[in-house]
A and B are shown apart, each in its own frame.
Chain A
Amino acid sequence: MIISHFDLDTFFVSVERLLDSRLNGRPILIGGVTDRGVVASCSYEARTFGVHSAMPMRLARELCPQAVVIRGNTSNYSKYSQMVTEIMKESVPVLEKSSIDEFYCDLTGMDQFFGCMKMAHELRERIIRETGLPISFGLSHNKTVSKIATGEAKPNNEMEIAPGQEKPFLAPLSVKKIPMVGNKTYQSLRNLGVQKIKTIQEMPMEMMERVFGKHGIDIWKKAQGVDKSIVVPYSERKSISSERTFERDTIDVVKLKGILAAMAENLAFQLRRGDKLTACITVKVRYSDFNTHSLQARIPYSAADHLLIPKVNELFNRLYDKRLLVRLVGVRFSHLVGGGHQINLFEDSEEMISLYQAMDRMRNRFGDRAVLRASGMGAKTIGQTMNPFTGEPPMLLANRHA
């Protein structure tokens, strides 16, 4: 296998700079502009001040008061991401778009004709030339090593890890560079005295398994430079969800229910537009103390508002029994399956079915928010403008941790 991993450097920042050259060379923060927001992307200039993505915006501003703060515009980012995707699709045999700014290409067999490094290099040059966006890539025998190599190559550079060199390449790096290692695992590893990947390489696999279970075996394998996962060109959405963090924590149950109903209504429309049904509803509540609770229920396959909204409401009633300030609410529909709503002989009236069809026609023509339940009209920013079932990875929202 020969796999290369492409990553657009500080993608959101690069797009903003393309649109406004005055931003070049200045520290930039992109993300939620309110105090509740977090940094979605920041320029290398801002990083020298200690800012990193997923940091609360308030803290980032304190660290780097001279930074330009931009709210960000997701549709611009999608557009540029799409441009890059098009170029990639033309040039490589198998492409996986794993997020808005990351791509895996399977170049296996291409070395017979082109030389993989040369090909990837030319592809990178072409993307930079045609879109103006800086991009880096790593090339190796599997996804994990390529991704780590990209991280090492950045900014705006490339790196090839020759076969057999995976272990020596990984050895001196921090364990944090392994894609599976998040904050928690990192802390546990540090507590074990593990800092460099080299240490994991020298540990017996059984020891990692004892500490981290199955997860540990995967980390151990990745540390050895072994990763058998393949490049998946199309990934089916397994769930769709919507959530909302409030500017100010609230206990206004009427408002909360209105927002949840609006979310459920919008998601139900997304299901119908994508010819999907859901069989599992999850409602999530995060209190002001960051305690997060969620409750889920299985239902018969459905995409009908009048079945989903009452169920969401019921779950919320069961979940929210504390009378505490709420910071965030969210709804998720999972266990998705392709198909239309099976009409019920006794519960669905013809008027109801015709109403859905009419509302969906209006939304398809005039946009998601063309017609709404009155209860959800207060919730202004609910609603995705994108169809979630196009095979594209979900857009990272600015207020969500990566």
Chain B
Amino acid sequence: MKFIVSSTGLLKHLNQISGVLNSNNTLPILDHFLFQVEGNSLSISLSDLETTMTTKMDLDKSAKDGSFCAPAKILLDILKTFSEQPLSFDIDEKTMGIELSSDHGKYKVPGASADEFPKAIELEGGEKIKMSSSALFGGINKSLFATGNDEMRPIMSGILFEINEDNLTFVATDAHKLVKYVRSDVKAKKASTFILPKKPNNLLKSLLSTTDAEVELSYSNTNAHFSIGDVQLVCRLIDGKYPNYDAVIPKENPNKLTIDRHAFLNSLRRVSLFSNKTTHQIRLKFAGSELHISAEDLDFSNEASERLTCSYEGEDMEIGFNARFIVEMMNNLDSDQVTLEMSAPNRAGIIRSLDGLDESEDVLMLVMPIMLNA
């Protein structure tokens, strides 16, 4: 079989799905792209067994329908070196040898039979909803940093999708911080929940940052299927029960700080440089309309403190946090003003943004404090 394709067009499409590639696969076939030619259309897939991504593009010319697998790394590497030009692929259907011809010369590489490539997962039953790419991107982008890395608790390594008649809620937590992002412009007829693993979240995040095509999402108990423009992503879901996050978000938080996000972020960045390099522990002290941020590292005799004017309602208090958590949160918010609501030094602090959000979105970030010695 034989076909001709534009070099930069092919590279663009391969890059859309190349994130699926693992650096060390046990199955050699997982290091291959699956090429399927049908008429003038080429679809390319990559899979790691858990997640499969497929992209579609038009061919300049094709002689015969067929499919084959091509080694991913060498193909990506050579495509990066070509300027825009037509490339012709010629596949020997007996030996699965691939011959690539460019303006410069010929390149040969062994391929593999399409039968070896893992079969695509078919969704059985399941629901189907539509949403804007900004809704999905917002949900993943705002919450992904809060997912856990603990292999002992795989559930917390993913993002919880909670869909019902009113909205779609994204939740991520590693037991020290939590993000809850609600989109009221996404609705489903039937309420359901699933946990999407970290890797497809990362893949979707980078894909969505380049496109604004509408997203079609279908899901069953075990799999989810995202269809975004030319690209399809099918993945297995994390099996298990997500912790009851709503119960641990404190409802009564009488102490409320309102502060300029940029000023707060810059102060935190500076002060945390002087905190312990492992625990990143900082102290926030609220008194009147003044916020006192301090950190120390006894091992190196480092010490820092800053004063910020803010608006604060509630009792004077002192609370300890891991500075990295709050810096991450401040970085993931877009507003000018943020609020930090607290009740006691041993209970969660809740961060919300006051402005900069769409009408249809709402975000809540929760951070657990560090126990301070009185």
Residue B369 CB within 8 A of the other chain: yes
1/0 per residue, CB under 8 A from A, across B187-224: the answer is 00000000000000000000000000000000000000
Q: Which residue from chain A places its CB closest to the CB of B372 in the assembled complex?
A: A340
Binding-face segment, B56-64, B128-136, B273-281: B273-281
Chain B binding surface, main DSSP class: loop
CB distance from B275 to the nearest CB of A (A): 9
Residue B285 CB within 8 A of the other chain: no
Q: Are A337 and B278 in contact (CB under 8 A)?
A: yes
Q: Which residue from chain B places its CB closest to the CB of A389 in the assembled complex?
A: B298
Q: Are A353 and B371 in contact (CB under 8 A)?
A: yes
Q: Which residue from chain B places its CB closest to the CB of A352 in the assembled complex?
A: B346
Residue B243 CB within 8 A of the other chain: yes
Q: Chain A residues near B366 (CB, 8 Å)?
A: 345
Q: Are B368 and A344 in contact (CB under 8 A)?
A: yes
Q: Are A347 and B175 in contact (CB under 8 A)?
A: yes
How many residues on A have C-beta within 8 angstroms of the other chain's C-beta atoms? Answer: 23
1/0 per residue, CB under 8 A from A, across B313-352: the answer is 0000000101000000000000000000000101110000
Contact A354 B297, CB 8 Å, known A342-B322, A342-B368: no
- For chain B, the bracket of interface size reads 20 to 34
Give the CA-CA distance A345 to B179 in the complex, in Å: 12
Give the CA-CA distance A110 to B175 in the complex, in Å: 57
Partner of A350, one of B176, B346, B373: B346
Partner of B370, one of A236, A339, A345, A350: A339
Give the CA-CA distance A345 to B244 in the complex, in Å: 10
Give the CA-CA distance A84 to B248 in the complex, in Å: 55
1/0 per residue, CB under 8 A from B, across A321-343: the answer is 00000000000000001111111
Residue A5 CB within 8 A of the other chain: no
Q: Are A346 and B371 in contact (CB under 8 A)?
A: no
Q: Chain A residues near B298 (CB, 8 Å)?
A: 275, 338
Give the CA-CA distance A277 to B373 in the complex, in Å: 13
Give the CA-CA distance A285 to B320 in the complex, in Å: 38
Residue B27 CB within 8 A of the other chain: no
Residue A44 CB within 8 A of the other chain: no
Give the CA-CA distance A356 to B345 in the complex, in Å: 14
Q: Are B299 and A343 in contact (CB under 8 A)?
A: no
Q: Chain B residues near A273 (CB, 8 Å)?
A: 373
Residue A169 CB within 8 A of the other chain: no
Q: Which residue from chain A places its CB closest to the CB of B368 in the assembled complex?
A: A343
Give the CA-CA distance A361 to B374 in the complex, in Å: 9
Contact A338 B276, CB 8 Å, known A343-B368, A345-B366: yes
Residue B234 CB within 8 A of the other chain: no
Q: Chain A residues near B348 (CB, 8 Å)?
A: 345
Residue A272 CB within 8 A of the other chain: yes
Residue B178 CB within 8 A of the other chain: yes
Q: Chain A residues near B320 (CB, 8 Å)?
A: 340
Q: Are A337 and B248 in contact (CB under 8 A)?
A: no
Q: Are B276 and A354 in contact (CB under 8 A)?
A: no
Residue A301 CB within 8 A of the other chain: yes
Give the CA-CA distance A361 to B371 in the complex, in Å: 14
Contact A343 B346, CB 8 Å, known A357-B371, A357-B374: yes
* 3 tightest A-B CB contacts, nearest first: A339-B279, A340-B370, A341-B371
A341-B371, A354-B346 known; 20 new pairs, CB 8 Å cut-off, are A273-B373, A275-B373, A337-B278, A337-B279, A338-B299, A340-B281, A340-B320, A341-B370, A342-B279, A342-B368, A342-B371, A343-B176, A343-B369, A343-B371, A345-B173, A346-B248, A350-B346, A350-B347, A357-B371, A361-B374
